[in-house]
């Protein structure tokens, strides 16, 4: 009996627009940001262009602060500099009441330059240089110790000082399904943290004042914070039972999700991103319930980054070429045939899809590795969206911003808006092949301010030197 050939199942994405007899749809579009026309922004400041909304930054900060402060008496946000350390962005958060969270000497200097006193800086990170630690100690920064080598360095620096140096420990924890970020800090699940606590208690030059954990980033499950908060309270009380002074603060790090969408995420962000209230509830309720009755609750620090800034950031870009993306027909031989047992061959039909080249590359959108930015045309389009490959402008095969974005047919010169891209892209963007673009902030009064100029040749070459024999 002859077998039917195997047919590979395929999943067809439905890019449904409203049904009408002319196959006309209304593709979603984004022609303005905070009331300012995308076209005028691109004309005035160049394309590509990062755009931030001051209104969105402030509203998100206030939403987050409200969510926590209505549930907990002593809350302090610390702006996570690495998420976006453009000074104007930092100033918005500092004006709103945030202190600074930094992970390097460079970021520390930046925060000091932004007027934040040392004792309002939380100093994280796995590598803090000797002179940076010295400065942080002198300025009474909140150092969160990452490893034993750092602890030893701080102990040495603390010798001969009249007062013990107050430190906190970074802790990593298992919180369920989520992969443990064990690169940073001490293990809170296997007793390691308590060994370090004992050592601190036995060192008169040191005083333990807090515990910190940052369980990861883009955590879509608020219950992971419930588990983390429970463990943090347990560790704090255990440390005190060993003889540590009362723990002054718990720092629950960041990690709350923005409205970005992961590559393999099925649900749209509107349906999958938990509200800030849910994170706040998980953390605040757990600590208040488990903290011994009658004792003042520890101060709660939060270092949330992406949830505050991602949704406020856009990248405007222009279509520079319209193409087709061809995929050749191919045949894949299944493993079974390698054993000569009837295996099979799967034929994938040739296809041809719409494709666009934009004037922005993945060097500006580092986060496109994990997330799919929404891409919207900047003008209303009547045709229904179809799956379109969106290439960046770099001469690199890997420069694909979206393998398939639902887009109407666009033409050279059309502008598109990518969103949300406010977290980690400006700080991680690299100068590669092209200049990095300007960044503007739309103020609450709709005035547009350049907060970072576009790079040019002299800026890019500023630090280069040509040895005289090559000149
Ligand atoms: C120590 C620390 N705090 C805060 C953050 C901010 O995280 P997120 O942007 O996910 O809120 C990070 C980022 O990884 C971090 O490493």
Contact status, residue 440 vs residue 48, Cβ threshold 8 Å: no
Closest CA to 144 of 120, 112, 167, 164: 167
Please say if the pLDDT value at position 429 is more than 50: yes
Beta-carbon count within 10 A of 260 CB: 23
Closest CA to 251 of 3, 76, 8: 76
Separation of alpha carbons 276 and 241, rounded Å: 33
Given the CA of residue 423, which atom of ligand 1 is nearest to it? 9
DSSP secondary structure letter of residue 429: -
Contact status, residue 233 vs residue 286, Cβ threshold 8 Å: yes
The predicted structure's pLDDT at residue 339: 47
17 pLDDT band (50/70/90 cuts)? very low
Ligand 1 pocket: which of 303, 306, 421 to mutate (most atoms within 8 A of CB): 303
Which one has a higher pLDDT value, 467 or 182? 467
For residue 145, which phi and psi values (nearest 5 degrees)?
Answer: -75, 135
Please say if the pLDDT value at position 359 is more than 80: yes
Closest CA to 96 of 65, 52, 67: 65
Describe the chain by its helix, strand, coil percentages, rounded to 5: 30, 25, 40
Separation of alpha carbons 60 and 53, rounded Å: 11
Full DSSP string of 30-45: --EETTEEHHHHHHHH
Instruction: Give percent of the chain above pLDDT 90.
Output: 85
Burial (CB < 10 A; 0-12, 13-18, 19+), residue 217, is: buried
User: For atom 5 of ligand 1, which residue has the closest CA?
Assistant: 254
Cα 100 to averaged position of ligand 1 atoms, centre (Å)? 12
Please say if the pLDDT value at position 315 is more than 70: yes
As for ligand 1, residues whose beta carbon falls within 6 Å of it are: 80, 83, 101, 124, 214, 217, 253-256, 303-307, 423
Which one has a higher pLDDT value, 210 or 351? 210
The predicted structure's pLDDT at residue 446: 97
Contact status, residue 435 vs residue 456, Cβ threshold 8 Å: yes
Q: What domains can be seen in the chain, in order of their start residue?
A: 24-51+313-457 (2.40.37.10), 54-311 (3.20.20.10)
Contact status, residue 178 vs residue 213, Cβ threshold 8 Å: no
Separation of alpha carbons 102 and 246, rounded Å: 25
The predicted structure's pLDDT at residue 181: 86
What value does the mean pLDDT take over residues 5-17?
Answer: 61
The predicted structure's pLDDT at residue 99: 98
- Which are the contacts of 15, defined by CB distance < 8 A and separation ≥ 6? 384, 385, 386, 387, 406
Ligand 1 pocket: which of 76, 77, 83 to mutate (most atoms within 8 A of CB): 83
322-to-357, 410, 412 alpha-carbon distances in Å: 6, 8, 7
Which one has a higher pLDDT value, 6 or 384? 384
Query: What spatial distance separates the first Cα and last Cα of the chain, rounded to whole Å?
Result: 79
User: For atom 12 of ligand 1, which residue has the closest CA?
Assistant: 254
What value does the mean pLDDT take over residues 406-424?
Answer: 97
Closest CA to 101 of 133, 134, 125: 125
407-to-17, 38, 252 alpha-carbon distances in Å: 11, 17, 40
Closest CA to 416 of 367, 388, 374: 374
Beta-carbon count within 10 A of 357 CB: 20
Q: Hey, which bits of 239-282 come out as E strands?
A: 249-251
Q: Look up residue 241 and give its two tokens.
A: 């039972």
What value does the mean pLDDT take over residues 258-265?
Answer: 95
Separation of alpha carbons 269 and 256, rounded Å: 13
Contact status, residue 404 vs residue 389, Cβ threshold 8 Å: yes
Collect contacts of 59-65 with beta carbons under 8 A, ≥24 apart: 60/307, 60/308, 60/309, 60/311, 60/312, 61/92, 61/93, 61/96, 61/98, 61/308, 62/96, 63/276, 64/256, 64/276, 64/280, 64/302, 64/304, 64/307, 64/308, 65/96, 65/97
Q: Look up residue 285 and give its two tokens.
A: 């309720």
pTM here is: 0.91
281 pLDDT band (50/70/90 cuts)? very high
Please say if the pLDDT value at position 108 is more than 50: yes
Given the CA of residue 144, which atom of ligand 1 is nearest to it? 1
Ligand 1 pocket: which of 61, 126, 253 to mutate (most atoms within 8 A of CB): 253
Q: State the chain's mean pLDDT as an integer.
A: 93
How many residues are present in the chain? 471
* Helix (DSSP H) and strand (DSSP E) numbers for the chain: 15, 24
Q: Hey, which bits of 96-204 come out as E strands?
A: 99-102, 121-123, 142-145, 165-172, 186-187
Please say if the pLDDT value at position 101 is more than 50: yes
The predicted structure's pLDDT at residue 13: 55
19 pLDDT band (50/70/90 cuts)? low
Separation of alpha carbons 277 and 255, rounded Å: 14
Please say if the pLDDT value at position 337 is more than 60: no
Please say if the pLDDT value at position 335 is more than 90: no
Please say if the pLDDT value at position 16 is more than 60: no
Given the CA of residue 308, which atom of ligand 1 is nearest to it? 11
Please say if the pLDDT value at position 85 is more than 80: yes
Angle at 201 between CA 195 and CA 204, to 5 degrees: 140
The predicted structure's pLDDT at residue 21: 52
Closest CA to 442 of 49, 18, 23: 49
């Amino acid at each position: 009996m002859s077998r039917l050939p195997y047919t590979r199942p395929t999943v067809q994405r439905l890019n449904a627009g409203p049904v009408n007899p002319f196959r006309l749809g209304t593709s979603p579009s984004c022609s303005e940001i905070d009331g300012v026309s995308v076209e005028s922004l691109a004309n005035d400041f160049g394309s590509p262009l990062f755009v931030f909304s001051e209104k969105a930054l402030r509203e998100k900060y206030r939403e987050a602060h409200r969510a926590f402060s209505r549930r907990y008496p002593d809350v302090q946000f610390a702006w996570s500099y690495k998420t976006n350390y453009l000074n104007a962005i930092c100033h918005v958060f500092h004006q709103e009441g945030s202190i600074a969270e930094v992970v390097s000497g460079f970021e520390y200097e930046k925060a000091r330059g932004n007027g934040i006193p040392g004792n309002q800086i939380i100093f994280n990170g796995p590598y803090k240089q000797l002179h940076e630690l010295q400065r942080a100690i002198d300025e009474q920064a909140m150092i969160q110790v990452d490893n034993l080598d750092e602890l030893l360095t701080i102990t040495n620096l603390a010798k001969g000082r009249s007062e013990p140096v107050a430190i906190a420990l970074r802790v990593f924890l298992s919180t369920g399904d989520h992969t443990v970020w064990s690169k940073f800090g001490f293990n809170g699940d296997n007793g390691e943290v308590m060994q370090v606590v004992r050592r601190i208690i036995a060192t008169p030059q040191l005083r333990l004042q807090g515990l910190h954990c940052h369980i990861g980033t883009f955590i879509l499950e608020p219950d992971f914070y419930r588990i983390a908060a429970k463990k943090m309270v347990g560790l704090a009380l255990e440390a005190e039972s060993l003889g540590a002074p009362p723990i002054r603060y718990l720092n629950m790090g960041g990690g709350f999700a923005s409205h970005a969408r992961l590559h393999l995420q099925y649900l749209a962000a509107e349906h999958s991103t938990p509200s800030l209230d849910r994170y706040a509830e998980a953390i605040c309720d757990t600590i208040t319930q488990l903290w011994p009755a009658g004792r003042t609750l520890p101060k709660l620090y939060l270092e949330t980054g992406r949830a505050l800034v991602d949704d406020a950031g856009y990248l405007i870009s222009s279509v520079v070429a319209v193409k087709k993306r061809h995929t050749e027909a191919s045949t894949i031989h299944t493993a079974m045939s390698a054993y000569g047992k009837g295996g099979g061959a799967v034929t994938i039909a040739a296809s041809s899809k719409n494709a666009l080249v934009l004037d922005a590359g993945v060097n500006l959108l580092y986060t496109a590795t994990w997330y799919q930015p929404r891409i919207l045309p900047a003008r209303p389009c009547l045709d229904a969206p179809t799956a379109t490959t969106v290439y960046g402008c770099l001469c690199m095969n890997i420069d694909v911003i979206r393998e398939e974005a639902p887009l109407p047919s666009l033409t050279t010169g059309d502008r598109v808006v990518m969103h949300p891209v406010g977290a980690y892209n400006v700080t991680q963007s690299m100068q590669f092949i092209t200049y990095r673009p300007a960044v503007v902030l739309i103020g609450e009064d709709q005035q547009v301010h350049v907060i970072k100029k576009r790079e040019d040749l002299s800026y890019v070459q500023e630090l280069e030197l040509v040895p005289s024999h090559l000149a």
